[in-house]
Amino acid sequence: MQEKAWRPWVLLSPALSAVFMLLVIPVCFVVVYSFWLRAPSGADIPAFQFGNYAKFFEDFFYSKILIRTIRISFETVFLCVVLGYIPAYFFYRSKSRYKKAFLLLIMLPFWVSFIIRTMSWINIMGDTGLINHFLMQIGLIQSPISMLYNEFTVLMGLIMYLLPFMILNIYVSLEGIDKSLLEAARSMGCTEWQAFREVTLPLSLPGVSAGCLLVFVLTAGTYLPPMILGGPGNDMIGNLIFKRIIGTLDWPFGSAISVILLFLLFVIVWVYNRYLGINQIFKSFQGN
Amino acid sequence: MRSFSPGWTLIRIYTFLVYVFMFVPIVVVIVLAFNPKQFGIFPMEGVSLRWFIRLAQNESIIEAFKNSLVLGSLTAVISTGIGILAALAFIRFEFPGKNTLNTLLLSPIMIPEVVLGVALLLFLRFLQQPKSFVLLLIGHVVLTLPYVLLIVQARLVGINKEYEEAAKSLGANAFQTFREVTFPLLLPAILAGALFSFTISFDDITATLFWATAQNQTVPVKIFSMLRNSVSPEINALGAVMIVLTVATPLLAGYLSRRFSKVTA
């Protein structure tokens, strides 16, 4: 027994050192750098001051991007719930032989590179894209409508990326519902709709909220859809970080924005735990 | 009865439309890859392989493909290796701080890739090292490690500890037990983990864009830089190749593993 005490640590050491060296320490560096100064020459000067943060919150240009990021994340969450719940319910209730194939199919976009899924919307919504071509063919319009590079196309790209996450989360929680509960509701005279509203829907809410959290976090941290499908006014906080770090090489400010993003996500997860605990969701529906 | 109710019909139509929404853009990429014309997207003017031929002759794209394949394979090997060891520690041993460490090792999933990209780049800058292939490799290992850990742990929980104890009581040492008993039972999860990390590495763009250089491009980074000019049919062709590769690989692996398990059973 004595010799066993060190064994797990030997097994863990490669993974632990990788995560410590390549994640924990680098993230600490980001926090430290966010207090540094940037000299006009471009050199970074070690310091401890809050100027980078002050700049972010004082300049309306930056705080607007933060607010937009939060708004777009909520919009994406909402659209994913609206678009995702019914297909998840379909998989749950379907008795088709092809149910497994349907599910596998909805997983497939996971395996297609994010950049391809994002740029694929240009083929659909571009000036010579599928929609414009179709509308011109049937004679509804004479010249192409300009549809790309606005918040709507950014949302399309985001949904394409995140909808499978939402559908799977909802589906998993639906599958976990004891089907005898539904039968009980039906045998006591509930209609199909009543049984859904009183039994299935409340019991599936943990999956919905888990999906919402995941979609929110992934949306708030992305920059690719605004970069490829958005215009100059659609930048999110990820775009700002990318531009500061890769574009202008402003490391201290880029670090401060990264810390703000991390903090935003931390707050969201905290609020979720605090107010949207699974019990709370049940309670809110018991009254109806 | 239910299958014929109007409500159920609406649900089916809705689901069908969501599928259309999800898959039309992907299908269109593949279809347009065969579009012979240079400018504009639709209408298609016949079917041609000219863009695939162009791709095959483009040195920098071949180079990006080689990079992506090597990077994905190395990431898969390293990540899976490290992940198996860590999973063994978490499932087969008791030690203080176990839950905290498990959360720590899974945390890269919860940290936005943008922040991960910045963090690693900043650390490299502090160490005064240039961006290199090694940066991409270690970055991708950190990105994929949590997924391997989750997959291998889930499988390991299901493997009865008594098999391993039986082997030990028959005189096998720890390594022999792992090689002869645990490893074969764990193999499906190991392959799944390796495949998963290969695909994540092969497809990743968000963090990779921070780490890549002109000399060390992956295919998604190449697609990104080509997009800056315009959406050419060449990008669709490259996208089609990527889609077929990353979608066909897991399907093929799933098919093979089912066949394989039938043969052995």
What residues of chain A lie within 8 A of the CB of B145, using their CB?
A: 15, 18-19
How near does any CA of chain A get to the CA of B265, in Å?
A: 23
Q: Does A93 contact chain B (CB < 8 Å)?
A: yes
Name every chain B residue with its beta carbon within 8 A of the beta carbon of A163: 18, 22
**Backbone dihedral angles phi then psi of residue A37, each to the nearest 5 degrees:** -105, 155
The pLDDT value given to residue A1: 45
Q: Which pair of tokens denotes residue B175?
A: 């390594």
User: Which residue among A113, A246, A258 sits closest to B246, beta carbon to beta carbon?
Assistant: A113
From the list B3, B107, B247, which residue is nearest A108 (CB)?
B247
Q: Which residues of B touch A83 (CB under 8 A)?
A: 18, 21
Are B155 and B80 spatial neighbours (Cβ–Cβ below 8 Å)? Answer: no
Give the model's pLDDT for residue A285. Answer: 39
Contact state of A129 with B41 under an 8 Å Cβ cutoff:
yes
Residues of chain B numbered 168-207 and touching chain A (CB < 8 Å): 174, 199, 202-206
- Report yes or no: B223 and B238 within 8 Å, Cβ to Cβ: yes
Nearest CA in chain B to A89: B11
- The pLDDT assigned to A190 comes to 85
Partners of A192 on chain B (C-beta within 8 Å) are: 2, 5, 7
Q: H helices within chain B, ranges in order? A: 6-32, 50-57, 59-92, 98-106, 113-126, 133-157, 161-169, 174-177, 183-203, 208-211, 219-227, 233-264
Helix axis angle, A114-125 relative to B6-32, nearest 10°? 100
Identify which of A50, A53, A1 has the alpha carbon closest to the alpha carbon of residue A254. A53
Distances (CA, A) of B30 to A112, A175, B33, B82, B227: 12, 34, 5, 37, 17
Domain positions in chain B: 60-264
A residues 256-275 lying closer than 8 A (beta carbon) to B: 258, 261-262, 265, 269
Please give the pLDDT value at position A145: 86
Name the residue among A111, A163, A164 with its Cβ closest to that of B246. Answer: A111
The model's pLDDT over B190-226, given as tens digits with 9 standing for 90+, comes to 888 898 899 899 999 999 999 998 888 999 999 999 8
Whether the complex's predicted ipTM is more than 0.90 is answered with: no
Query: A169 CB contacts (<8 Å, ≥6 apart)?
Result: A207, A208, A210, A211, A214
Instruction: For residue B215, give the DSSP letter.
Output: S
**pLDDT < 50: residue spans in chain B:** 1-3, 264-265
For chains A and B, count residue pairs whose Cβ atoms are closer than 8 Å.
243
Residue A30: the pLDDT is 94
Phi, psi of A126 (to 5 degrees): -65, 170
Is the separation of the CB atoms in A265 and A213 below 8 Å?
no
**Contact across the interface for A18 and B119, Cβ inside 8 Å:** no
Neighbours of A244 (CB within 10 A): 20
Contacts of B121 in chain A (CB under 8 A): 245
Q: Which residue has the tokens 């100064």?
A: A37
At the topology level, CATH places domain B60-264 in MetI-like fold (1.10.3720)
| Structural domains present in chain A | 56-286 (1.10.3720.10)
Q: Nearest to residue A89, comparing CAs of A188, A193, A162? A: A193
Q: Does B233 touch chain A (CB under 8 A)?
A: no
Residue type, B59: E
pLDDT at residue B5, rounded to an integer: 77
DSSP conformation class of B173: -
In 3D space, the residue among B255, B145, B144 whose CA is nearest the CA of residue B202 turns out to be B144
Residue B265, pLDDT score: 40
DSSP chain A: -GGGGGHHHHHHHHHHHHHIIIIIHHHHHHHHHTT-EE-TTS-EE-----HHHHHHHHSHHHHHHHHHHHHHHHHHHHHHHHHHHHHHHHHHH---TTHHHHHHHHHGGGGS-HHHHHHHHHHHHSTTSHHHHHHHHTTS-SS-----SSHHHHHHHHHHHHHHHHHHHHHHHHHTS-HHHHHHHHHTT--HHHHIIIIIHHHHHHHHHHHHHHHHHHHHT--HHHHHH--GGG--HHHHHHIIIIIS--HHHHHHHHHHHHHHHHHHHHHHHHHS-HHHHHHHHHT-
Chain A CB contacts of B86 under 8 Å are 11-12, 14-16
Give Cα separations from A235 to A64, A72, A156, A230 (angstroms).
10, 10, 15, 7
What's the pLDDT score for residue B94?
A: 86
Among B residues 89-118, those touching chain A with beta carbons less than 8 Å apart: 89-90, 92-93, 95, 101, 104-105, 107-108, 110-118
Q: Which amino acid is at B158?
A: G
Going from the first residue of chain A to its last (288 residues), give the mean pLDDT of each consecutive group of 10, the final group possibly shorter.
Answer: 72 90 92 89 83 91 94 96 94 84 80 90 88 89 87 94 90 86 85 86 88 91 93 92 90 94 90 66 38
Type of residue found at B191: L
| Rounded CA separation B218/B69 (Å) | 9
